Amino acid sequence: MDKWKEIKERLAHLHGSVELLADGHKLSLIKVHDGKKIFVRVYVDGCVDFAWTKTEDGKPVHAQGQFWRPMKRAAYPKKHYAALKRGWGKKEADRMITPRVIAVVPDFGTEGAVVAHLKKHFPDLDIKADEVAS
């Protein structure tokens, strides 16, 4: 079976999980909920450290941040475009409403989203072999 399909299948149900090995790090993907939303959280080497969310020029500062979802936001919403254009000019207004990566976060909305991110950036990752109890 394709490893990407297997990852999706293991994360199909609530509290489904899978452990992966990528770039010398152990990733734990777990489908969780916070009472309102269901999402997939990525743990790197068994933890989530929110110091890893920092970015510079759209790239994560810490190596562990590369496994997380880039969060994009614009400085101003598009509904303010007309006022920004009058005040700052078209070129600057376009820059102000263009979304940029401001952080990376450990949560993905669906298992398909996390698989697409990992497939794009880490095509050679391995699924960790399950240990059999003796």
Q: What is the pLDDT of residue 129?
A: 74
- Mean pLDDT, all residues of the chain: 89
| Mean pLDDT along residues 56-65 | 89
DSSP 1: -
**Inter-CA distances, 9 with 64, 115, 131, Å:** 25, 11, 19
Cβ contacts of 71 within 8 Å, gap of 6 or more: 101, 102, 103, 104, 105
pLDDT of residue 130: 66
Q: What is the pLDDT of residue 133?
A: 38
**Helices 111-121, 3-10: inter-axial angle, 10-degree rounding:** 150
Query: Is the pTM for the entire model greater than 0.85?
Result: no
pLDDT of residue 125: 87
Structure tokens at 40: 């997939």
* CB contact at 8 A, 6 and 129: no
Q: With a cut of 90, say whether residue 31 has pLDDT above it.
A: yes
pLDDT of residue 134: 38
State yes or no: pLDDT of 123 exceeds 80.
Answer: yes
> According to the model, what pLDDT value does residue 77 have?
94
pLDDT at 68 over 90: yes
Joined together, the tokens standing for residue 129 give: 């072999």
pLDDT (0 to 100) of residue 74: 93
